[in-house]
Amino acid sequence: MRLVSFSPGDAAAPGVGAPPVTGVRTGLLLVDEVLDLTDPEVGLPADMATLLAGGTRSLAMAADAVRGPARRWPLEQVRLRAPVTSPPKVLAIGMNYRTHVEEMGREVPEYQYWFNKQRTCVVGPGDPILVPAESEQVDYEGELAIVIGRRCKHVPADRWLEVVAGFSVMNDVSVRDWQARTPTFTMGKSFDTHGPLGPAVVTPDEIGDPGALGLRTWVNDELRQDSSTADLIFPCAEMVAYLTTVFPLEPGDVLSTGTPSGVGMGFRPPRWLRPGDRVRIEIEGVGVLENPVEAAEPSAPTGLDG
């Protein structure tokens, strides 16, 4: 099952002005449609994290709805949003592919190196990645994302899939000079629009072994990253177990599992993203996430009046 968040619209203006609701993408090979899970025939929440908090009952209702009369929209008449539009947490791991460790001239880490991205950076498929006025050192990182499906703590590695709702594609966009200003990385990882996520949350039964998925990233028509999750240093099971040793994970949390070699910073000289570029990330069985790159408009202060 491919769970999505989308804004319904019409052929002239897909999704314009409409708040996101949850859905299931169906019929990819025949008639590509999105089924509305908030239709009264189904009655599931419009927010994905809230839907996932309903557990197996909500997921069973979503699966059953595919065979029912709930409203369907042709894909071209909706705007796909980030499948989890406002995750409770967005956590990402650094230096988790052997090839990326090598290109950065680093040592293989003994422990998992986690940092957080502010959830306000999350955007969806087709949304622009903005190059801020504060820096030109904007980089891409194609990554497999784990979406958590239930509140959990102290999860044994051999039971990690029991707490996973599914998988998605994430671009861990990074502003490298700001990233280097602090060992926590958070400032350089959290600029607005620097967390593209999507196009769907794909349930585990759809993708097979998450430790053997091809991952490729293109900038424009140039293939920059070409790897597999088989190159992960710490596999998904160990990531979930490690994090839940310290704090609970919650429905809708997004875990970005690291990037392989081929990032812009790894070239000599570095090859930063520029306005007019387009980044396409494809993960086998999970989907394709594509976003244009644009210059950010000058920022005005907000929240200062009243």
Per-residue model confidence (pLDDT) at position 294: 98
Domains of the chain: 2-80 (no CATH), 90-295 (3.90.850.10)
CB 101, CB 234: distance < 8 Å: no
CB 240, CB 255: distance < 8 Å: yes
What CA–CA distance (Å, rounded) separates 42 from 184?
A: 43
Helix (H, G, I), strand (E, B) or coil at 254: strand
Per-residue model confidence (pLDDT) at position 11: 54
Q: Interior CA angle at 274 toward 270 and 276, to 5°?
A: 145
CB 195, CB 90: distance < 8 Å: yes
Q: Determine the residue type at 240.
A: V
Single out the residue of 113, 217, 132, 216 nearest to residue 175, CA to CA: 132
CB 240, CB 157: distance < 8 Å: yes
- Across the 306 residues of the chain, what is the mean pLDDT of every consecutive 10-residue run? 91 71 85 94 98 97 96 94 98 96 92 97 98 97 98 98 98 97 94 98 96 98 98 98 98 98 97 98 98 93 83
Whole-model pTM over 0.75? yes
Distances 223 to 43, 262, 295 between C-alpha atoms, Å: 42, 9, 23
Residues with Cβ within 8 Å of 278's Cβ and at least 6 positions away in sequence, in order, are 219, 220, 290, 291, 292, 293
- At which residue do the structure tokens 């169906």 appear? 26
Q: End-to-end CA distance of the chain: give it in Å, rounded.
A: 46
Helix (H, G, I), strand (E, B) or coil at 204: helix
Q: φ and ψ at 57, to 5 degrees?
A: -65, -45
Which tokens sit at 56?
């197996």
Per-residue model confidence (pLDDT) at position 6: 97
Which tokens sit at 145?
């994302």
Which tokens sit at 212?
């053997």
Single out the residue of 98, 281, 120, 287 nearest to residue 195, CA to CA: 120
As beta bridge partners, residue 293 has 129
Q: φ and ψ at 260, to 5 degrees?
A: -80, -175
User: How many residues comprise the chain?
Assistant: 306
Helix (H, G, I), strand (E, B) or coil at 224: strand
Per-residue model confidence (pLDDT) at position 298: 87
Burial of 66 (0-12, 13-18, 19+ CB in 10 A): middle
